[in-house]
Amino acid sequence: MSQPVQQRILKTAIPGPESAKLHQRRTKAFSESFGVTLPVFIESAGGGILVDVDGNHLIDLASGIAVTSVGASHPKVTEAVRKQVERFTHTGFLVTQYESAVQVAERLNALTPGDFEKQTGLFSTGAEAIENVVKISRTYTGRDAIVVLSHAYHGRTLLTMTMTAKNAPYKEGFGPFAPEVYRAPSPYPYRWSGHPDDIAQQAFDQLADQITTQIGAHNVAAIIMEPIQGEGGVIVPPAGYLAKVAEFARENGIVFVADEIQAGLGRTGDMFAVNHEGVVPDLITTAKALAGGLPLSAVTGRADIMSAVPAGGLGGTYSGNPVACAAAVAALDALVEEDLPGRARRIEAIAKPRLQALAGEGSHIGEVRGRGAMLAMEFVEPGTKIPDAAAAKQVANHANSNGVLTLTAGTYGNVIRLLPPLVIGEDLLTDALDVIEAGVGTLA
């Protein structure tokens, strides 16, 4: 199997007639409660390109939401998957075992920060990893309360949507929510005032005060936060904030968890986003990029915490599926061997200055931010900080209909996120940035 030609090619309008036909069938057959960014249907994908059923080659700045960091058909991953499905597809790791699950655990234990004995548990989805990190932290500490941040995204299951901050569409109508989830304010430098150091201190003081006076530190099992908030709008906390929270957690016997499901595994230019801050969490959750596109998630961290739950307390039918594990071993090897964190830094070096150049005085772009290949533009009404979701949508629509797939995000829906595969070619990236620049140019 060869990768599609790495070039943007438009043969029809986007979506084209074949996609439109399929979308009509989808609308009838498939629950309409699922959204879609761009209603095209994909026939093949790889590198930085998605090929749709009309033969259009779209530049991928989404990676299926930060999943296909190694590309959607990395030769090592597809070969590992092919070999594994020929041997066996499933045994149930709770029933009989296979080496690849152990290999994934060993690799994650080695790649994650922290010079202590570590263990890993494998699951299938990101939300499931978060659910389990809560179960583990509660058992280990004998406490109930979970502290999360505003603008957080942790998933769509009952517990994880409770932990997620944004009401519509994630929570609206789905209550009652899970108890014992508390929310502290997230430091959002663009929307808070003052020096970043002061914002870090203020946000930390509010969290510590809330925990001490309203919950009781001795009741808190875990503090769970994204080191860069993805769905919330690629919010990068001010330097020093995560370290203060980690230290407070340590002093109070609280498990400090970094949800690296979106930011982890090379995306931000380091293997984990906490590494930029020198912060060592007790536990780290990973998923999205872990298995090169197959569903696999993990909780990794301090061995004494990871084995606190009695045997049989964790797991699931598909936990650590062997096909996903084979893919993960290949994807993690590619991540290291091809220095994909280095590629993420290169993407930032190319893209960030170009985006920043669009964000001049009186423009619709209030801020360009992010790290590595996790970048974003926040759209506002010119001269103000009033969120302008319509502007973000207009630029995203322009990009999408010109063959550049982008994602919007943000609590106010006014952020465009760039999450390209880390293997994207520089010519493709430059072409995509030209299209985005033209899209920003359409704003009055």
Ligand X SMILES: *Cc1c(COP(=O)(O)O)cnc(C)c1O
CA distance 202 to 205: 5
Quote the least distance from Cβ 261 to ligand X, whole Å. Answer: 4
Binding mask of the shown chain, residues 285 to 324, with x at each position contacting ligand X by CB under 6 A:
--x-------------------------------------
Q: Which stretch binds ligand X (CB under 6 A): 224-232, 266-274, 347-355, 375-383?
A: 224-232
Residue type, 340: L
Contact 342, 374 (CB under 8 A): no
In the block, tokens 């749709």 appear at: 52
Contact 73, 30 (CB under 8 A): no
Of the candidates 373, 443, 393, 275, the one whose C-alpha atom is nearest the C-alpha of residue 61 is 373
Choose which of 259, 277, 348, 388 interacts with ligand X (CB under 6 A).
Answer: 259
User: What residues from 34 to 73 belong to the interface with ligand X (CB under 6 A)?
Assistant: none
Phi, psi torsion values for 390, nearest 5 degrees: -65, -40
Choose which of 187, 227, 230, 372 interacts with ligand X (CB under 6 A).
Answer: 230
Of the candidates 226, 306, 288, 235, the one whose C-alpha atom is nearest the C-alpha of residue 260 is 226
- Smaller CB distance to ligand X: residue 217 or 284? 284
Quote the least distance from Cβ 272 to ligand X, whole Å. Answer: 13
- Smaller CB distance to ligand X: residue 130 or 404? 130
Count of alpha carbons within 13 Å of 207, Cβ hemisphere only?
Answer: 29
Q: Where are the extended beta strands (E) located within 16-150? A: 42-46, 49-52, 57-60, 118-123, 145-149
Cα dihedral 72→73→74→75 (10° resolution): 180
Query: Using the rule CB under 6 A, is 126 a contact of ligand X?
Result: yes
- Smaller CB distance to ligand X: residue 182 or 390? 182
Choose which of 3, 262, 402, 414 interacts with ligand X (CB under 6 A).
Answer: 262
State the angle between helix axes of 426-441 and 389-401 in degrees (0 to 180), rounded to the nearest 10. Answer: 130
Of the candidates 164, 123, 173, 168, the one whose C-alpha atom is nearest the C-alpha of residue 325 is 123
- Smaller CB distance to ligand X: residue 283 or 380? 283
Choose which of 78, 125, 186, 411 interacts with ligand X (CB under 6 A).
Answer: 125
Choose which of 155, 281, 370, 372 interacts with ligand X (CB under 6 A).
Answer: 155
Give just the sign of the alpha carbon dihedral 133, 137, 138, 140: positive
- Smaller CB distance to ligand X: residue 288 or 346? 288
Which residue is nearest to ligand X, using beta carbons?
126
User: What residues from 130 to 149 belong to the interface with ligand X (CB under 6 A)?
Assistant: 130
Choose which of 107, 138, 151, 154 interacts with ligand X (CB under 6 A).
Answer: 154
Query: Using the rule CB under 6 A, is 226 a contact of ligand X?
Result: yes
The CA-atom distances, in angstroms, between 424 and each of 175, 328, 374, 405 are: 41, 20, 13, 13
Quote the least distance from Cβ 345 to ligand X, whole Å. Answer: 21
Q: Which stretch binds ligand X (CB under 6 A): 52-60, 151-159, 343-351, 366-374?
A: 151-159
Choose which of 127, 136, 265, 376 interacts with ligand X (CB under 6 A).
Answer: 127
Q: Which stretches of the chain bind ligand X, using CB under 6 A? A: 125-127, 130, 153-155, 226, 230-231, 259, 261-262, 287
